[in-house]
Amino acid sequence: MANLGCSALSPQPSALLTQPIAILGGTFDPVHNGHLRVAWEAGEALDAEVRLMPANVPPHRSAPVASAAQRVALLRAALAGQSRLQLDERELRRDAPSYTVETLREMRVEFGEDRPLILLIGADAFAGLPSWREWRALFGLAHIAVLTRPGHGVDVPAELHAEIAPRRVESARVLSESAAGMIWRLPVTPLEISASAVRALLAQGREPRWLVPDALFADPELLEPYRRAAQPSALSPQP
């Protein structure tokens, strides 16, 4: 997931062409500090540019509360003032469900066969990888960094274990030396924040201060979709 200040030396163009690109997908409904912290830590650990990529029609969950345009506005506000984390809107331009394998194929065409692409996936989602469309094809398109809690392992089904066992590496450096195919476990700071809890607070007329970036409070319209939405009173965590 170095401080947020600018480096004294800007990367040279040749370095930018080979710098890994990490991808963090999700609905970001709304974006919260848990998303941003793990993205920042991944970017530092991998020395990568991180693309936050909101899904238009997520294949494995219900439709977002906020529209695509509203979620983009939230992300733009949250990401202002720094350059490591970038917004990538490509999946929002699709009317069909957002399948990761299709996104990675599109990025391979755009960035070439040699630039490292690194898919950031939480441990629970990673365990369910065999349910994803063309999941084995993912390894030929990108590395995978599995976001885990410090000191916790990753339990995976036998089918997935057989596929990833020869791909595991112990160093982030290895991911920058090839374009795709490796698996690395990345411990990140576990912030117990869920988008569903943030939505529930807003629907109850409460303010989720310190759970979402302060920039989201600067314009009352940014969080208004969630204040208008009817939500369950319970604040049980959901993805």
Question: What is the DSSP annotation of 17-74?
Answer: HHS-EEEEEE--TT--HHHHHHHHHHHHHHT-EEEEEE-SS-TTSPPPSS-HHHHHHH
| Structure tokens that stand for 239 in this block | 């993805």
**What's the DSSP call for residue 167?**
G
Distance spanning both ends of the chain, measured CA to CA: 18
CB 175 within 8 A of CB 43: no
Domain boundaries, the chain: 13-191
What pLDDT, on a 0 to 100 scale, did the predictor assign at position 80? 97
Lowest mean pLDDT among 55-64, 100-109, 114-123, 136-145: 55-64
Strand 85-87, strand 21-26: pairing: unpaired
Report the SS3 class of residue 28. coil
Alpha carbons 151 and 214: distance in angstroms, whole number: 31
More confident residue, 9 or 168: 168
The closest of 204, 197, 193 to 230, measured between CA atoms, is: 204
Could you give phi then psi for residue 198, rounded to 5 degrees? -65, -45
pLDDT band at 64 (very low <50, low <70, confident <90, very high): very high
Residues facing 86 on adjacent strands: 51
What pLDDT, on a 0 to 100 scale, did the predictor assign at position 15? 53
Rounded to an integer, what is the distance from CA 175 to the centroid of its chain?
17
Residue 24's contacts (CB-CB under 8 Å, 6 or more residues apart) are 35, 38, 39, 42, 50, 51, 52, 53, 120
Alpha carbons 19 and 22: distance in angstroms, whole number: 10
Mean pLDDT of 149-172: 90
Alpha carbons 230 and 239: distance in angstroms, whole number: 18
- CATH class of the domain at 13-191: alpha beta
- What does the pLDDT look like over 129-139, one tens digit per residue? 999 999 999 99
The closest of 132, 71, 137, 146 to 104, measured between CA atoms, is: 137
Burial of 146 (C-beta count, 10 Å sphere; 0-12/13-18/19+): buried
**What's the DSSP call for residue 98?**
-
